[in-house]
Amino acid sequence: MPHPNDPKLRSFIPVDPSSDFPIQNLPYGVFSARGRTPRVGVAIGDYVLDLCELEQDGRFAFAEIGVFSQASLNPFMALGPKMWSKTRARISELLRYDHPELRDDEGLRKLVLVPIGEVKLHMPFAVSGYTDFYSSKEHATNVGVMFRGKDNALQPNWLHMPIGYNGRASTVVVSGTRVKRPRGQLKPPSAEAPHFGPCKRLDFELEMGVVVGQASKMGEMLSEQQAEEMIFGFVILNDWSARDIQQWEYVPLGPFQAKAFATSISPWVVTREALEPFRLHGPAQQPEPLAYLRQAQPNNYAMELDVSLRASQMNAAQTICRTNFKYMYWSSVQQLVHHASSGCAMNVGDLLGSGTISGPEKHQRGSLLEISWNGSEPVTLDGGVTRTFLEDGDSLVMRGWCQGDGYRVGFGEVEGTIVKAE
């Protein structure tokens, strides 16, 4: 049987080369349509393949019955990497142009292939815990220069470990969820005392999210290989940020309410296996990390990312950032290894945010804080519209994909629109 990543594979379903969802991808999500309760599906071209119906029809005889009828990927992820790989291979086989089992069964095809325009997409997994990292050297340097000056841009610990904080799983939401402008304590530099009110410097952060599919035991560390095998897949992640709330609260313990109000993720989880052809080594790490963080294999990915903004006065969105996941200084594997290094137990459904992804060029900055340089360089959009931070009615869309030879492995998009604080 051909490997599911074979670039020569074709589906019996026509898929445009520019589609995010060719047969080499097969991302998982949770959907409802045609009166069906939320269940697990896979995106293929312009369709969603209903894995619940295929499971009930006996097409996954090796799988634990009922995992695809759930409104969450967690039960499936708990089955482990061998089952993930086996299932993906079976789905690939069912969709191949030269395999008649589904292709030639008209009744089954009509039952299990749902046009993607007819479905409602839900949160793809139940988030057990959410941790956000700060792992782009370019982003950390830009922020450091703004607030501490060029000579003290990076804190002394930054080059020695992935810096992160524990966020709120309760407010991780799926793409399309409207985001209410947060309120909090604000203290402008000129004010003698803080006041409480709506955030005035609302921002986005372009990130990737790691979906942890296997648990680890409390008190145990992880090796590089163990951490890699625990990663089920990735989503695009927008870590909305209230910069003015953060500025007042973050000393001495870091972000709290400034990041707790909303984090948006894409509805499709692209598996680690689908991204395998696009792995590469990340930036050279100097000084060399401590032994437990050293990497023997390439753990970064050549993944194109872009952000477009439709200001409330505009009819169409405009690209404001184009960067690549390959620039990340600390890899997702290193983040997971470090997270567990104290003995912290990891759970199925944990979500790790990569931290803002910025590159070395100005157009590669992954937040408005950087793009507008803390508000001092307003962004000019079509029609003369300007922005330093997000305003009510603004809509933001993030997209990501890995480009193969004649196909792309993509994530769809994560969208969010800002609504007024009540």
How far is it, in rounded angstroms, from Cα 71 to Cα 89?
22
**DSSP H helical ranges for 51-117:** 51-56, 74-77, 81-95, 100-103, 106-112
Omega cis (within 30) before 38:
no
Average confidence score pLDDT of the chain: 97
Q: Above 90 in pLDDT, residue 1?
A: no
**408-419 and 395-403 beta bridge pairing:** antiparallel
Active site residue 363: no
Q: C-alpha dihedral over 247, 250, 255, 257, to 10 degrees?
A: -70
pLDDT in tens, 66-108: 999 999 999 999 999 999 999 999 999 999 999 999 999 999 9
How far is it, in rounded angstroms, from Cα 338 to Cα 164?
10
- Both structure tokens of 15: 């898929």
How far is it, in rounded angstroms, from Cα 207 to Cα 415?
13
Q: Residue range 50-75: average pLDDT? A: 92
Q: Residue range 334-362: average pLDDT? A: 98
Q: Above 70 in pLDDT, residue 63?
A: no
Q: Above 90 in pLDDT, residue 324?
A: yes
Burial (0-12, 13-18, 19+ Cβ within 10 Å), 193: exposed
Share of the chain above pLDDT 70, in %: 100
Q: Above 90 in pLDDT, residue 61?
A: no
Tell me, yes or no, if the pTM score tops 0.75. Answer: yes
Task: Tell me phi and psi for residue 392, to 5 degrees.
Answer: -60, 135
Q: Above 90 in pLDDT, residue 422?
A: no
pLDDT of residue 64: 74
Q: Residue range 348-376: average pLDDT? A: 98
Q: Residue range 335-351: average pLDDT? A: 98
pLDDT in tens, 168-209: 999 999 999 999 999 999 999 899 999 999 999 999 999 999
Please name which of 330, 324, 326, 327 lies closest in space to residue 285, comparing C-alpha atoms.
330
Q: Residue range 269-278: average pLDDT? A: 98
Q: Above 90 in pLDDT, residue 40?
A: yes
Q: Above 70 in pLDDT, residue 159?
A: yes
DSSP class of residue 118? G
Q: Residue range 19-23: average pLDDT? A: 98
Domains and CATH numbers, the chain: 28-122 (2.30.30.230), 130-419 (3.90.850.10)
pLDDT of residue 358: 98
As a whole number of Å, the CA-based R_g of the chain is: 22
**Which position among 3, 99, 122, 139 bears the catalytic label?**
139
Q: Above 70 in pLDDT, residue 385?
A: yes
How many helical (H) and strand (E) elements, i.e. helices and strands, does the chain have? 11, 26
- Both structure tokens of 376: 């001092």
Q: Residue range 338-363: average pLDDT? A: 98
Q: Above 70 in pLDDT, residue 114?
A: yes
